[in-house]
Amino acid sequence: MNLRNRKKGVSAEVHTSAMNDIMFFLLLFFLIASTLTNPNVIKLLLPKSQSGKSISKKTINVTINKDLQYTVDKKPVALADLSTVLTGYKSKTAELTIILYVDKTVAIQDVVQIMDIAQKLNIKLVLATVPK
């Protein structure tokens, strides 16, 4: 009978301390990579047509300066005539978006008047700002 102690031989050990670092870096890489990709983009090769119409999304600039002077695409317009001018632009394109540039000293009531006109005409409105 062989009664020798078997612990004197080579023991097999696996050190996994480096595995934690590798998994952390992989997780960090995939988190950063997933924020940079846009999942809503699908690349397609679309067929060509000679009789098709292109729908243009038109934007117009409406500006209010500190003296409450209104301009539409760099043309001065009175506040009373603004609704008719915007109706003329709306009849030309299907989807119209107003980019509203307002001086920071203008009262909010004047901005709300433009918003009301856009809402009545069912035109999208975006307020332009300067990034910090």
Summarised one tens digit per residue, pLDDT across range 48-88 is 556 555 445 788 888 888 888 898 988 889 989 999 999 88
Q: Would you say residue 14 has pLDDT above 70?
A: yes
Q: CA-to-CA distance for 104 and 106, rounded, in angstroms?
A: 6
- Higher pLDDT, residue 40 or 5: 5
- With a CB cutoff of 8 Å and minimum separation 6, the contacts of 118 are 86, 98, 124, 125
* Per-residue confidence (pLDDT) for residue 50, from 0 to 100: 61
* Per-residue confidence (pLDDT) for residue 115, from 0 to 100: 92
User: Domain ranges in the chain?
Assistant: 57-127
Beta strands (DSSP E) in the chain are 57-64, 70-72, 75-77, 95-102, 124-127
Instruction: Considering the domain delimited by 57-127, tell me its CATH architecture.
Output: 2-Layer Sandwich (3.30)
- Higher pLDDT, residue 37 or 22: 22
Q: Would you say residue 22 has pLDDT above 80?
A: yes
